[in-house]
Amino acid sequence: MKRSDHGTFHLIYATHVSAADFQEIKPDLDKVAEESRNLVLLLEGGLTLDDFYRHVDSSLRDLPPHVLLAPETVRANEKTLAAGYAAGVAELDRGYGKWNAGGAEQKRILNVNPFSEALLAWAAEHRVPIVREQIPFEAWIAIKGAFIPNIRANIAAASGDLATMWAENRNECEAYAREGLLRDAQVNGQVSKMLNVEHPNSNVVYVVGASHSMNEHLLVRDLNAVVHKTSIDLGIFWRYLEGFANGSLERTPKDVREEVEATMFLAGRVGLWGRANGELDDAFRIVYQISETAAAEKEVTLRRIVESMVAAPKFQDVARKLNVAELAKFIGWVFIRDSIENGVITSSEVGRYLDIKL
């Protein structure tokens, strides 16, 4: 923790979905509020894609997200897209201003889930003003566009183009890793400005998902910081992604790296069949179990399984007729179906985690 004449940055890691999740961190928040003469709550997140579509020029609204946010579209329409983003952010700022004004507006402003609703209720009760996470247009485009390689990998799989499929799969993993680095560095700069310029006599509290602990060194850099909930589990998905973020995956043997990439490819698509309250980790557990059994009993790798699956003419015949939204689920469905038929996992084992009909 760096000593400073200014306030303290309180970083709280949390699972942020339910009201029960909020109760896990409420003691930390209460302690921070008790010890802070002035406190500001920095809210994670920014403009949603839906809100962006509402403000973008009508000539571009019919484009699907993976086309609208593609680099070639952004280059050709940068000023128009930037204007739409600025309009959306302005409306968001008006909402934050109305919320900070108090009264009945606090009941109507900001789209929230149960966790966020509880967090905002806490802020209202303690008279803690809220500040939005500020994300420049260029950074926002990069963050929101991180899913584009996923779409391209699915399209390549549908045509049996293995080289492009694996290249885009790797691009996706690297894009999400870069997204985290970009965003957390941006937050660090914003908090520094808040503590030193905008709110010099205040402390700042930031509640964020556990995955951001991968970049904790960026979040707290050169700040007087206190980190809460340091023992929270990243989960399997984020531990894999951390390998892309810190470069450690590059230092592993090629066969190990390829199995990690195949696991990421499959888990993201199998996870689309998860139960309503399931976690992506459930998909990783299933894929990992299939990987272990296939290696031990069939002497085959996950990468080989995927390549055989997408190379099959029957797979391609169906896949080519599907839209981009259906493709990912179809890939996950075929993988699970084939795994059951080949005896590497049972339907009852799958049913523990997935809501999938075969």
Residue 165 shares a structural domain with residue 23: yes
Residue 238 lies in a domain: no
Per residue in 213-265, pLDDT (tens digit) is 888 999 999 999 999 975 556 555 666 677 776 777 777 788 888 888 899 89
Cβ(276)–Cβ(319) under 8 Å? no
pLDDT of 149 over the 70 cut: yes
Per residue in 17-33, pLDDT (tens digit) is 788 889 999 999 999 99
Q: What is the 3-state secondary structure (H, E, C) of 35-81?
A: HCCCEEEEECCCCCHHHHHHHCCHHHCCCCHHHHCCHHHHHHCHHHH
Residue 139 shares a structural domain with residue 173: yes
Which structure tokens are listed for 224? 């007087």
Which structure tokens are listed for 53? 């579509």
Residue 127 lies in a domain: yes
Helices 148-158, 162-193: inter-axial angle, 10-degree rounding: 170
Cβ(168)–Cβ(149) under 8 Å? yes
Residue 284 shares a structural domain with residue 196: no
The maximal CA–CA distance of the chain, rounded, in angstroms, is 67
Residue 244 lies in a domain: no
Residue 29 lies in a domain: yes
Counted domains in the chain: 2
Which structure tokens are listed for 126? 């303690």
Residue 274 shares a structural domain with residue 224: no
Mean pLDDT calculated for residue range 89-100: 91
Rounded to whole angstroms, how far apart are CA atoms 64 and 291? 34
- Which run of H or of E encompasses 270? helix 254-270
Cβ(261)–Cβ(169) under 8 Å? yes
Domain span at 151: 9-233
Per residue in 114-139, pLDDT (tens digit) is 888 899 999 999 999 999 999 999 88
Residue 225 shares a structural domain with residue 258: no
- More confident site: 278 or 346: 346
Residue 210 shares a structural domain with residue 262: no
